[in-house]
Structure 1
Amino acid sequence: MRKQEAQAKEKTLLVFNCHEPWVYQLGALGYKLDIIIGLKGRYLETWDEQMRPMPPNSRLITLPQAQQSQIRYYCIITHNITDLLDIKHRHEPRLMVIHSTFEGRALEESSDVVPQDMKDTLKKYLKLIGGHAVAVSMLKGKSWGFPEDIVPFAVNEDDYLPYSGQTSSGLRVCNFIEKRKTILLWDFHEKAFDGIPIRIVGHNPNMPGVRAANSWEHLKRMLQSHRFYIHTANSELEDGYNMASLEAMAAGMPILGNRHPTSPIEHGVNGFFSDDPVELRKYANMLLEDKILATMMGREARKTVIERFSISKFKEAFLQSIETARQKWKHRKLNR
């Protein structure tokens, strides 16, 4: 085991920054990380410390530095075709991580690209370069035509504070809601929680009074203190959970939301769900009035996330995805 850990520390991954909470997970792999910042389209040019501290054994570099680096990277972690093109002159295995459904991304970006054309182009390009695709969920993998390798993201339950639920309010963490309203079923959210005390946290410049957490520690304290967590999503565009809702479960919060086939919530056990906003509001009020019930359900939510979304499972599966990418790269070189 120690020999494997020592070998891992000698290897370095080149990682395009995308969503800091997801990239932070890669610290569990044991590799060194060169994280590319200053990318176009990002709301922040550097690493967002408000979301996560930097992973262990990592450093920040620019794209030109990455393109010219003399390091022989063990694998390059990308998130879209632009990333793949940006490192086309490097000669290392590459892995593309699919974080969203094609339909959801097209809606968010107001794109008029023909879906099948885009999917075919990506599949052909990955085959051409010997790249490998891994998706964070089956819904997202199928959406792009890559259902073969699925590695759900994870949480480490030991990172979170013991639940108190002392604040009689719901909590929801979400960035850029304005352009994601259809994906998030935001109209339903507003109807269901009208008149209910709810704290929204995240980067949402068009929403007065809504701010991101000051730090990950600040977010943990909010997860600890608020009574319940909300996750609503269109089942054709987004999963019935995200990293924030899994964090909430790890912190011992019960979850409220709409019915969703991929939700980890069991109605009446670790949360409540309903497609009727009036009924969901009733459940919210029930939890606001009964902290003991919220605590019991949150305890079950924590058990669920530990069983289904452990960091050890993520590590094992993602290390295998990297090895698959390396095999495809090697096979591509042999067939040239």
Structure 2
Amino acid sequence: MQAILAVTFPFFALVLLGYLAVQRGYLPESAIPGLNGFVLFFALPCMLFRFGSSMPFAQLIDPVLIAIWGGSALLMVVFTLALSLRRTPEGPGVSMKDAAFGALVAAFPNSGFMGFPLLIGLLGDKSAGPLIGCILIDIVFTSSLCPALAQLRPASETATKHGLLAPFGRALRGAISNPLPWAIALGALVAAVGLPLPGPVNDIVRMLGDAATPVALFTIGAVLWRAQQHVHTRTPVRDYLPVALVKLFVHPLLVLSGGVVANAAGANVSHFALLVLVLNAALPSASNVAILAERYGADNGRITRIIMVSTALAFVSFSAIAWVFGVRKD
């Protein structure tokens, strides 16, 4: 456990430093969009491009692993929707819009900004292949489905005459504009063609990719602080703590169960690949969901609290799950 904490502590410490830097005024709030843009459009795409161009396509797109991850994400969405919409003695559940974004934040781990560098630090570069498949599913499928569900209206309204298809199409067009899948695809294309980048260009890509880890983790903390400052409503603990716990414990359990079922069906999923998926599911919620919820007019206060609680608890829960599954970092 001590060896695992030695790897995980710096990652979560950088998140805390980003939070404190903005809180104490060392980093102005106006700089946060710039940091986020640098990571999303420059540093992370370069890191993903390098991994996409350094391994065979079959390691990037494994249909069985994608099915396990996608099926688990769908079950997480359904389960969290039911949890959020249920009536309790304390009162009715949240609205459909808020429940849909709660489902997104429960099913969408922080794979890009945190998971990629953390799991590579724990498990080595070979964990990149399974992770890339997870990122593609999260960006293209999960982050399109949940905003589409958030836009559903009562059946009596004409806006629903096309059901889920129209809002899903709009959300999918937004997801496709994300640069990360394109960076992966471009890297895979370069690998398939076998055409190396010119030396100076390769150096630029390497330098930007190397900057992704510290800047991304620092940015998570800064984004969390910003999201907290723009919260205008008070959210009862019962509306956000259960979803955070579902994210940290139910999600990895569902992924593990999916791997067990796949192996029972003869899919022959390797222990290592399944471990990568389980640890990815054990990550805290993606911080950018709070920005997306605010854009769609959902209760970003609830979403922010889910992200913050899951991030704070994940330092212990993620390390414990890694230890239980026998991760050894020498």
TM exceeds 0.5?
no
Which has the larger helix fraction?
A: 2
Larger RCO: 1 or 2 (CA < 8 Å, sep 6+): 2
- What TM-score does the superposition give when structure 1 sets the normalisation length? 0.24
Which one has a bigger Cα radius of gyration?
1
- What TM-score does the superposition give when structure 2 sets the normalisation length? 0.25
